[in-house]
Structure formats: structure tokens, C-alpha cells
């Protein structure tokens, strides 16, 4: 196997040469990329290591030129920049991998070994402006997959907990594809009443059902030549799943009540925060559809598993929030950012964003110090004495509010009542009269509450859960 290295840094050339030779490759190195295209044509290497930024030449342009040849080697971009734009751009244009300097020799070895096992690459397009953050290894991998997914026609399935950024990723795939000037149609499958899914997606003919007073184009036809994003795909009824599978296989839709079929050219991206494999095993999701949709799968890890992204996200959202309120300064102190990093964000990036927007709205230009952060973030670290149950309750209230939960009054009161009743009844071993005395309420009320809250008493005067 032969490798060619283009990099204007001598040490990088030397290190690569050494490592690659150890891997059994024949290695040629060049300090400029000016002649790269003709060198590659002549030398026919298996792998090219290409620096993105070299004096007088641009690695991406060279990459594009090499990739436009009929047959071309695997190209590994090396760069001192870990900005997502460059990573997406490089992967998009067919780079095999993107390695950030200073690199770990093992990364190079891994790339070479993966290449030895072989795969192939792909073509073109440009950059949009979507604010997306992620320097963690996990997000870098995701950018690589976005680059790949945007140049492929295969369906993409994005999985991950709520608020991790699945929709931003779907939009990014579209924005980097050659469909970027065509529609991106987002459909939330959970928001459509189950009986209407098919007519919504595939359209209907006038008179197809009561209320169909005119012919309506389905989302697939509206998205023609562009991308359709089917969010919360797990909520799609089984019957509609069967129809969707046919649409993907045939690339044509038949509106409800129509004899006509229409050809469509739509890239399909789906997303879910559910475990589709489990739903498939339970018979709630079609297995054949699952395999068809998950040709390219992007799993977005929860924010707590990529905390190194938090400071950059804080910076972005603070900037957005300050702009929204027309403020010139403000934001979090270093200590506050440290606290923000220690919290686990069950609501992921969305929760972090909501917290920041709320704090900036309240404190405006005032620097946000740890004492201004909500209790559930600073927690016990700031409250010196052991937190009382009231403090715990306060934390829970803040947490629910920050997660945009609704109707929390009813929820909290019923949780409270349930605990109060269960614990008292546990103490009285199920004796209701005694519990009524302790609680100071009528025994009929207790009976009613037991029914309402569905509290189970296994055996009277015995134990219960
Ligand atoms: N990496 C990121 N950089 C910047 N903003 C992000 C990032 N990830 C998510 N966001 C922001 O967080 C919010 C939630 O993201 P998004 O709606 O894409 O999540 P989701 O995974 O689709 O959530 P759900 O499963 O609840 O629909 C959005 O406002 C989005 O702009
Ligand atoms: Mg979403």
C-alpha cells in the first residue's frame, strides 16, 4: 500500500511518515499541495493525507479535484481547525476521515486500519448558517455522519433522547445536501390524529372521505425534490407504516381515495426518542420498515455524556438571548459555567437553552454568578445546611419549570397527597380510622383518596404498596 502526505509542517510530515511506515505503507511526503492532483494521478496512492490549510493552496479544493477523478484514493484530511464547518465540508466532499491536529498516533493507525478494511466515498455542495455547537468527539462523529448522510439518497434515522438536537441535525443534513434549495418538510407524527396520518402524508382526493371537500396534496408531494422529516416516527400507526414502506420502495404515492399514483423524489429523514428495536420486538413497529429507515443511523448522545460541549453551548445561547433582548453585555461568570457543567440536564440541550434564556431575561446585563443559578443546578454545593424537604421540593419545582412541564400544580399536589397517605397508612398498617385521626380528615375522605390515587392495600390491616 502506498500513502502520500501533503502538509506544510515538517514535524507532521515526519511523524506521519514514521507511523505509516510502521504500518507497512510506502510513504511519500510533500510540503505543498500545489502539485497534489498530478502527483496523485501519477503515484496512484491508496491513501492521501491532506492538510486543509497550506500556504497558497486550499485542501478542500484539492480534495474536490482528486475526488472528481474516475478512481481516487482514500483521503484523510488533517487540520488544526476543529470547527464543525470544516469537518462537514470535508466529509461532504468525500474525505474518508478528518483528523484534528495535534493528533494521537492511534487515530492515524485506526484510520489506516479502517481503510485497509475498505469503504467508498462521495460528491458535492455548500454551506448554510445554522448555529450548531459541538466539539466533543461524539459531536465530531455526528458531523462526519451528517456529511455522509447529506450526499446519500438513503434514508436517515436519528435517535436520541428528547432535546438532544435531532431536528437541528435533520435540518443540517438537508442544508448540506444538493436539495438545499428545495423544501424541507417537517412532520410530527405524534401530532397527527392516527386516522389522518395517511391523508396528511400522501394527500387525498376530493370526496375520499366525509369532509374531503377538495383534493389535497400530501406532505410527500409538497416535499418533492427535497427532504421530508418524519419526527417521532414511533408514533406512526401500523397501517400507515405499511404504506410508508411501499412509498419508500416504489418512490411513488397514491393519495387516499385516488386511482392515480405520483412519482416522488424525496429524501427521508426520521427521528425518534424511543427504542425502535424494542418496539419492533413488541410488534408495535414494523421490522421491515425499521431496517429500511435505518440505513444510515445517527445516534445523538445525551448532553450529560458530552459535557465538554456545555461551555460553547452556553456561549451560543447567551449570545442569542442577549440579542433577543437587545442587550450589549451580560452572561455567565466562569464559576457559574463550572456549576452549569456539573448538572445532568435530563432535558438535554433544550433544557440548557431554556435555563439560559430564562436567566438572561431575569438578570439582563448583570453578570450571572453561581448564587443566581437555580437551586437544582447549584444544589447542595451552595446550600450549606442539609437541604430540608422544602428545599427538595423547591428544586423539583424549578426542574419542572425549566423542563417546560405543564399543569405542575395538579401533578405536585397529587404526588404530595399520595406520599402523605401511603406513609400514614403504612404507619397504621392499613387501619383507616387511625390514619383519619393522624391526618385529621374524615375516613370517607381517605377511602375516596385511596380510590382516586389508586393506592393498593394488599390486605386490610396488613401491608400495602
Ligand atoms: N448542538 C447544538 N447546538 C446548538 N443548538 C442546539 C444543539 N442541539 C440542540 N440545540 C437546540 O436545542 C433545542 C432542541 O433541539 P431539537 O429540537 O433539535 O431537539 P430534538 O432532539 O428534536 O428534541 P425532541 O426529541 O424533544 O423533539 C433547539 O432549540 C436547538 O436549536
Ligand atoms: Mg424534535
| Phi and psi, residue 259, nearest 5° | -95, -5
Average of per-residue pLDDT across 88-110:
87
118 band by pLDDT with thresholds 50, 70 and 90 = low
Those residues whose C-beta lies under 8 Å from the C-beta of residue 105, and which sit 6 or more positions away, are: 15, 19
Distance of alpha carbon 395 from alpha carbon 33, whole angstroms: 58
Q: Give me the pLDDT at residue 464, please.
A: 39
User: Is 121's pLDDT higher than 70?
Assistant: no
Q: Which residues of 313-332 are buried (b: 16+ CB within 10 A; e: fewer)?
A: bbeebbeebbeeeeeeebbb
Lowest mean pLDDT among 216-225, 254-263, 289-298, 420-429: 420-429
Mean pLDDT over each residue of the chain, to the nearest integer? 87
Ligand 1: distance of its center to the CA of 353 in Å? 9
Q: Which pLDDT does position 380 carry in this prediction? A: 52
Residue ranges and CATH numbers for the domains of the chain are 2-124 (3.40.50.2300), 144-301 (3.40.50.300), 304-402 (1.10.8.60), 408-452 (1.10.10.60)
Residue 122 binned pLDDT confidence (cut-offs 50, 70, 90) = very low
Mean pLDDT of 72-89: 86
- 394 vs 36, more confident: 36
Residue 293: closest CA among 261, 255, 249: 249
Rounded Cα gap, residues 313 and 307, in angstroms: 10
* CB of 312 sitting under 6 A from ligand 1: no
Given a cut of 80, is residue 376 above it in pLDDT? yes
Of all protein residues, the one whose alpha carbon is nearest to atom 10 of ligand 1 is 165
Q: Ligand 1 pocket check: which of 87, 309, 324, 349 to mutate, most ligand atoms within 8 Å of Cβ?
A: 349
Grid cell 397527527 is found at 192
Q: How far is CA 205 from CA 236, 247, 433, in A?
A: 22, 18, 65
Three-class secondary structure of residue 319 per DSSP: helix
- Find the 232 Cα to ligand 2 centroid distance in Å: 8
pLDDT the model gives residue 57: 86
- Residues with a beta carbon under 5 angstroms from ion ligand 2: 167
pLDDT above 90 as % of the chain: 55
What's the pLDDT tens digit per position in 182-221? 999 999 999 888 888 999 999 998 887 777 778 889 999 9
Helix (H, G, I), strand (E, B) or coil at 39: helix
The β-bridge partners of 48 are 4, 75
302 CB near ligand 1 (under 6 Å): no
167 lines ligand 1 (CB under 6 A): yes
Amino acid at each position: 500500500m502506498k500513502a502520500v502526505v501533503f502538509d506544510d509542517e515538517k514535524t507532521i510530515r515526519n511523524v506521519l511518515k514514521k507511523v505509516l511506515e510502521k504500518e507497512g505503507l510506502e510513504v511519500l511526503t510533500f510540503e505543498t499541495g500545489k502539485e497534489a492532483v498530478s502527483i496523485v494521478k501519477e503515484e496512484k496512492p491508496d491513501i492521501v493525507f491532506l492538510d486543509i490549510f497550506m500556504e497558497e493552496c486550499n485542501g478542500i479544493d484539492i480534495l474536490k479535484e482528486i475526488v472528481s477523478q474516475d478512481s481516487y484514493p482514500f483521503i484523510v484530511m488533517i487540520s488544526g481547525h476543529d470547527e464543525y464547518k470544516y469537518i462537514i465540508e470535508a466529509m461532504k466532499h468525500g474525505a474518508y476521515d478528518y483528523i484534528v491536529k495535534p493528533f494521537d498516533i492511534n487515530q492515524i493507525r485506526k484510520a489506516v486500519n479502517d481503510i485497509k478494511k475498505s469503504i467508498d466515498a462521495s460528491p458535492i455542495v455548500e454551506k448554510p448558517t445554522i448555529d450548531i455547537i459541538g466539539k466533543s468527539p461524539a459531536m465530531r462523529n455526528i458531523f462526519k455522519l451528517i456529511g455522509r448522510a447529506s450526499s446519500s439518497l438513503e434514508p436517515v434515522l436519528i435517535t436520541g433522547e428528547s432535546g438532544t438536537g435531532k431536528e437541528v441535525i435533520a435540518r443540517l443534513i438537508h442544508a448540506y445536501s444538493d436539495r438545499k434549495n428545495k423544501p424541507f418538510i417537517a412532520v410530527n407524527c405524534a401530532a397527527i390524529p392516527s386516522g389522518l396520518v395517511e391523508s396528511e402524508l400522501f394527500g387525498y382526493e376530493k370526496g375520499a372521505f366525509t369532509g374531503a371537500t377538495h383534493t389535497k396534496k400530501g406532505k410527500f408531494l409538497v416535499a418533492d425534490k427535497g427532504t421530508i422529516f418524519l419526527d417521532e416516527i414511533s408514533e406512526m400507526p401500523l397501517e400507515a407504516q405499511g404504506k410508508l414502506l411501499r412509498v419508500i420502495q416504489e418512490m411513488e404515492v397514491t393519495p387516499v381515495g385516488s386511482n392515480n399514483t405520483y412519482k416522488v423524489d424525496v429524501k427521508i429523514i426520521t427521528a425518534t426518542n424511543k427504542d425502535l428495536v424494542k418496539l419492533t420486538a413488541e410488534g408495535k413497529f414494523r421490522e421491515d420498515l425499521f431496517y429500511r429507515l435505518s440505513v444510515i443511523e445517527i445516534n445523538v448522545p445525551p448532553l450529560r455524556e458530552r459535557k465538554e460541549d456545555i461551555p460553547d453551548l452556553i456561549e451560543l445561547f447567551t449570545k442569542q438571548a442577549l440579542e433577543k433582548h437587545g442587550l450589549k453585555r451580560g452572561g455567565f461568570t466562569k464559576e457559574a459555567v463550572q456549576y452549569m457543567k456539573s448538572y445532568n440536564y435530563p432535558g438535554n440541550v433544550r433544557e440548557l437553552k431554556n435555563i439560559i434564556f430564562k436567566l438572561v431575561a431575569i438578570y439582563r446585563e448583570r453578570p450571572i454568578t453561581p448564587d443566581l443559578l437555580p437551586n437544582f443546578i447549584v444544589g447542595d454545593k451552595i446550600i450549606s445546611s442539609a437541604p430540608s424537604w422544602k428545599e427538595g421540593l423547591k428544586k423539583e419545582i424549578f426542574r419542572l419549570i425549566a423542563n417546560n412541564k405543564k399543569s405542575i400544580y395538579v401533578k405536585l399536589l397529587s404526588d404530595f397527597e399520595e406520599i402523605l397517605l401511603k406513609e400514614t397508612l403504612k404507619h397504621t398498617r392499613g387501619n383507616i380510622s387511625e390514619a383519619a385521626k393522624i391526618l385529621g380528615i374524615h375516613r370517607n375522605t381517605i377511602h375516596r383518596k385511596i380510590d382516586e390515587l389508586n393506592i393498593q392495600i394488599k390486605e386490610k390491616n396488613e401491608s400495602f404498596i
